[in-house]
Amino acid sequence: MAAHISKTFLNVLNRGSVSVVNKHHHRSVWVISSCCTRTVSSISAAEPGLTPRLSSHLHGKSYTELHELSLRDPETFWGSIAGERLTWSKRFEQVNDCDLATGRINWFLGGQLNVSVNCLDVHVARDPDRVALIWEKDEPGTEERVTYRELLEATCRLANTLKSYGVKRGDRVAIYMPVSPIAVAAMLACARIGAVHTVVFAGFSSEALAGRIQDAQCKVVITCNQGVRGGRLINLKATVDAAVESCPSVQRVLVARRTDNPISMGKLDTPLEEAMASASPECAPEPMASEDMLFLLYTSGSTGKPKGVVHTQAGYLLYASVTHQHVFDYSPGDVFGCVADIGWITGHSYVVYGPLSNGATSVLFESTPTYPNPGRYWETVQRLGINQFYGAPTAIRLLLKYEESWVKRYDRSSLKTLASVGEPINHEAWEWFYNVVGDARCPLVDTWWQTETGGICIAPRPAHEGGEIRPAMAMRPFFGIQPALMGEKGQTVTGNDVNGALCISKPWPGMARTIFGDHQRFVEAYLKPYPGHYFTGDGAYRTEDGYYQITGRMDDVINISGHRLGTAEIEDALDAHPDVPETAVVGVSHDIKGEVPFAFVVLKEKAMQEQEVVLEELRRLVATKIAKYAVPDHFLVVKRLPKTRSGKIMRRILRKIAMDQTDSLGDVSTLDDPSVVMEIIQAYKQTFRG
């Protein structure tokens, strides 16, 4: 196995000439005021042990004071932080201009900067040999380290390669790659030249990839020949080949080499390392306006096709940077280990932009929690000396089923913070993570946020004035976040010990600006449901003492192993089968994955005889149209679906049946024909209870 794998990233660097970064050039262009020079020092290793601080202006205040100030006077709060932490080529003139009613969201107007300069050049200027990335490759013990200087050079070479294929400011570039330094360089290369990246999780099918490329009208796709995960090879290039057939906007496919296995190259394809080796190692950064687009990331909603969530430059970077430092208690010199894939927002904000903007050493985890055994995470923690470990509850639920010795045999004394994201963390997982992994010594931080929020919004930090962190709770709002709970009639629910629809009542720098190409959809989905507020789609409970606990999605979005998916998308895939007139998909709970899809399927008369064949075809359809993880775990063939008189499917009832909770069906009187309920319950009993 190992013999097939090339040291892709180092090949690039070794083949090309090593350039010396021109510090003077960089300084004269990018550091324009004294406040910006201070920025660099406040996040560098030059001041080890410095208490993490937001800005000199805000130093020494308590969480409560700072949170109150961030809501009352966002101009002072965010203005002083943005001025100090970010390096601007032109300083902003106005902190914000927002209107949540129309979705006009602008931060740091008049300012210009370049995100790649903030993530690379500022650190190269001070400490070029600091390790930016540790690529924890699939085979344990084969990790590769990439310094800030090397990453800047690779980024510039890749940026120049993109330029040579006609990519200009504002053009979209799709990245379909596993977690790797070259993928990070690809993201930063886009940022360097003002192109907009859209990373597509490398587990999505060719049709899903094609849909995203078409919606974004991408000019270039960057991919790898193969992926390597859990000892298995994944033919990524073949998926891209199938996708680009239906994507006339794509003019070039750049193919990096993760393995030495040969693959066929077509007329659109260029080997990426070769192109980079002959490209210049220097690339002047494009000055970007604060509100220019930085990236698109597609995510599922309750209706329609996945939407391209738009994040812009300055506000997103600032929010990722501040939350990374303050929620995880990151200090200069720490090794930050977020095991998420770069195909999700967690990878964008806490593998790439947050850590790199803070000059951190960020771990890129290519493998799985159980390869080659269930001790992999903790062996990695020991070998790399990871200080902050950020993972998903689904992996924790999987690992706690194995012997504790898989954890205990490894030295975890480097760990300072444990953190969780993606779905509610149940008590059992919380206790195991905290006690077994963290030896009841490290704070465990449950972080709530979304693709649309850009960064963490609710977490126990920085809120632990009494040092208290409670099990399984996301806790308190971060700076600038004003949560509100809404009732059924659209009213704000006041007081404590109450439930409601979770909204955020004030704009914050990291929030999404729009849906690519469809601002109206943005307004409808997030701003219309509770006018004047951003609606998250989640429900929440405010405890007696004012903490927040997330109760789960309120819409038809389900969360499979921390991967968000609209049930409507799965239904669309199933409905494409010629023998299937109608389907309804609901989420049911699963002890490891959190939730899994359960599909109710109506078949045409003639297909009833060959149910098994049709169901197998349906499984394949979902895998090819979306992804393998989206394939329903359970299918139930039914004669009809429960509908209201106006024809709406009552999923609430289907969810109860799928969860085998038929003694609490609730009101079924609004159904057009209530007898359908008994019919489906009978079918369920026959299928699942024999």
Q: List binders of ligand WT7 among 275-304 (CB under 6 A).
A: 299
C-alpha–C-alpha distance, residues 178 and 599, integer Å:
30
Neighbour tally for 217: CB within 10 Å: 14
Interacting residues of 586 by C-beta distance below 8 A, sequence separation 6+: 558, 567, 597, 598, 600, 651, 654, 655, 658
Q: Using the rule CB under 6 A, is 345 a contact of ligand WT7?
A: yes
Residue 309 CB, shortest distance to ligand WT7, in Å, is 8
Residue 314 CB, shortest distance to ligand WT7, in Å, is 21
Task: Give the DSSP letter of residue 312.
Answer: E
Q: Taking each helix axis from N to C terminus, what angle separates 651-658 and 675-688, rounded to the nearest 10 degrees?
A: 30
| CB of 344 or CB of 600, closer to ligand WT7 | 344
Options 141-149, 331-339, 444-452, 644-652: segment touching ligand WT7 (CB under 6 A): 444-452
Q: Work out which of 79, 306, 422, 529 binds ligand WT7, going by CB under 6 A.
A: 422
Q: Using the rule CB under 6 A, is 446 a contact of ligand WT7?
A: yes
C-alpha–C-alpha distance, residues 541 and 502, integer Å:
9
Q: Work out which of 31, 421, 504, 603 binds ligand WT7, going by CB under 6 A.
A: 421
| CB of 345 or CB of 352, closer to ligand WT7 | 345
Task: Give the DSSP letter of residue 452.
Answer: G
Residue 95 CB, shortest distance to ligand WT7, in Å, is 25
| CB of 116 or CB of 312, closer to ligand WT7 | 312
Contact call for residues 653 and 642 (beta carbons, < 8 A): yes
| CB of 359 or CB of 424, closer to ligand WT7 | 424
Stretch (H or E) spanning 589 = strand 582-590
Q: Using the rule CB under 6 A, is 157 a contact of ligand WT7?
A: no
* Two structure tokens written together for 442: 């490290």
Exposure string of 581-604, with b = 16+ CB inside 10 Å and e = fewer, is ebbbbbbbebebbbbbbbbbbbbe
Q: Which amino acid is at 527?
A: L
Options 282-290, 365-373, 491-499, 530-538: segment touching ligand WT7 (CB under 6 A): 530-538
Contact call for residues 128 and 113 (beta carbons, < 8 A): no
Indicate the residue whose CB is closest to ligand WT7: 451
Residue 392 CB, shortest distance to ligand WT7, in Å, is 8
Q: Using the rule CB under 6 A, is 536 a contact of ligand WT7?
A: yes
Q: Which amino acid is at 250?
A: V
Options 119-127, 201-209, 344-352, 409-417: segment touching ligand WT7 (CB under 6 A): 344-352
Q: What is the per-residue DSSP string for 332-351?
A: TT-EEEE---TTSHHHIIII
Stretch (H or E) spanning 40 = helix 34-42
Q: What is the per-residue DSSP string for 381-403?
A: HHHHT-SEEEE-HHHHHHHTTS-
Q: Using the rule CB under 6 A, is 112 a contact of ligand WT7?
A: no
| CB of 86 or CB of 345, closer to ligand WT7 | 345
Options 21-29, 148-156, 228-236, 417-425: segment touching ligand WT7 (CB under 6 A): 417-425
Residue 539 CB, shortest distance to ligand WT7, in Å, is 9
Q: Work out which of 217, 450, 492, 611 binds ligand WT7, going by CB under 6 A.
A: 450
Residue 255 CB, shortest distance to ligand WT7, in Å, is 28
Contact call for residues 622 and 585 (beta carbons, < 8 A): no
Q: Work out which of 537, 539, 566, 594 binds ligand WT7, going by CB under 6 A.
A: 537
Task: Give the DSSP letter of residue 44.
Answer: S
CA of 44: how far to CAs of 201, 228, 356, in Å? 32, 34, 11
Residue 12 CB, shortest distance to ligand WT7, in Å, is 30
Residues in contact with ligand WT7, shown as a per-residue x/- string from 538 to 577 under the rule CB under 6 A: x-----------x--x-----x----x-------------
630 dihedral zone (left: phi>0; alpha: psi -120 to 50; beta): alpha
Residue 339 CB, shortest distance to ligand WT7, in Å, is 12
Q: Using the rule CB under 6 A, is 516 a contact of ligand WT7?
A: no
Residue 267 has, within 13 A of its CA and on its CB side, a CA count of: 1
Q: Which amino acid is at 521?
A: R
Residues in contact with ligand WT7, shown as a per-residue x/- string from 376 to 415 under the rule CB under 6 A: ----------------------------------------
* Two structure tokens written together for 273: 């390392």
User: How many amino acids of this chain bind ligand WT7 (CB under 6 A)?
Assistant: 22
Which residues of this protein are in contact with ligand WT7, per CB under 6 A?
299, 344-346, 421-424, 446-451, 474, 536-538, 550, 553, 559, 564
